[in-house]
Structure 1
Amino acid sequence: MLNFEELKSFLDEKADFYNNPDFIENDPLQIPHRFSLKQDIEIAGFLAATISWGNRKAIIKSAEKMLDMMGNSPYDFVQNYSEKDLKQIEGKSIHRTFNGEDFAYFIKQFKRIYKENSSFEELFKVENSEINFSHAIERFRKSFLETEKHRSHKHVSSPYKNSSSKRIIMFLRWMVRKDKRGVDFGIWENIDQKYLSIPLDVHTGNISRKLGLISRTQNDWKTVEELDIVIRKLDEKDPAKYDFALFGLGVTKELF
């Protein structure tokens, strides 16, 4: 097992290696990278992140399908769609259990949110006493999903229900994390990246256990917080950069 300094050096090197524009090409992150308008990036990013489970090629294809339905101008579509547009969308299949009905519901919620806010950033503010995004995600859920029950609610997971909330955490990394590499956008100026966590899934979980970063066997919110403790010791200002290291090690299977 590596000691702390060796572990930091190893993970810094891997994070540095994978955090470059080549990373974007085969990743769902390429979807929001097609846009320059902040709101387009937010909508395309949130949709791509929401359907990010399974094969990455399939995810990108499904995200492209959604962009096509929005005339490749997500924000403009959200502002100006007709009921007929939504009806057409509702009947489509999109990606696995995320269907046209879910997509149409998301579009309606986007419209309402942008009526009240200039950016999604307003809904993810972290309070001073908080140490991560768990409460911010819950406040966002409340605001985005409102109180009416809808099948789409299962697509926006909750740390309060002990979900690792991998897809929202990934979306937050894209929007919040700032560096000069051109992978993450860092377009949310008022949220500090020190609150970011690692998007935890089967791969990052397994790699983290192999490296001795976590001991819990489930991939849930408690494990996200366990991993938080270690990555913040490695770099308290930019803990989420280690997502690149863990992801890269998962793809290359270097540790297996």
Structure 2
Amino acid sequence: MFPAHKIPTSGNPLIDQQHGRLTELIRHAVMAARDTDRAAPFEESLAEFRRALAHHFAVEKVIFSGAGFDAASGHEQAHAIILEHLEADLASVKDLSTVQARHRLLEKLERILLEHEMLEDAAYWDAVRAHSSSPILKWTDLMVIGIDWVDSQHRHMVDLLNQLSQAARTGDHPTCARLLQQFLHLTHSHFAAEERHLEARGKPLSRHRADHARMLSGLDELATTDGHGPLVLVDHYLRFWVMEHILGIDRQDLAV
């Protein structure tokens, strides 16, 4: 039965949940492909798959970057190529009038996705598992930027993350909700302060601001999305989010 393949477990529950969701969306597209009298259901199913895939790639970027990989270069380029192929297929969807043609398209999309996840992404999974296994994120000298107020706010982020992790492990959902709101508030104000700092010193701002916007968008979306518990969000995404921000972005743009 199509689709016949399953992406192996990555060891990161959030990534695995999204893999399951993508597989489910392909199945929905298979069902919609049978309706040759109407193009809209099939077109809508492909568009939903495209949105989910773009979100998944954004989540992977945060996790892989936070784990210490350069996901901003070759890996992100591979993601962009896959999305470009999907955009081209979406543009031609009205020409796919037969069930056979639609199934060929879906088989192609599934093959591209499987090859990417199983061949390219699998290289990162062991390191991602290792980073997720510790109950706390330790502050290290590598995280020191050299600007007192920046380092102080980063330490507060790490402290809130560890409090969130502890509350999630004990199932204290009210505390998780309160701490998550504190984290979101701190992050928004911290990013704004960093941008003012760069602007006041005449340093390049556009890329740093774009990174902030990307990170906030992904964090806000996951923080308000059902389907994953607080422990998954905190230990398998948020810790990588913090590491990407401090080690991957601020050390490059702000370190003195």
Could you say which structure has the larger radius of gyration? 2
TM-score, with length taken from structure 2: 0.29
Richer in helix (by share): 2
Greater relative contact order (Cα < 8 A, sep 6+): 2
TM-score, with length taken from structure 1: 0.29
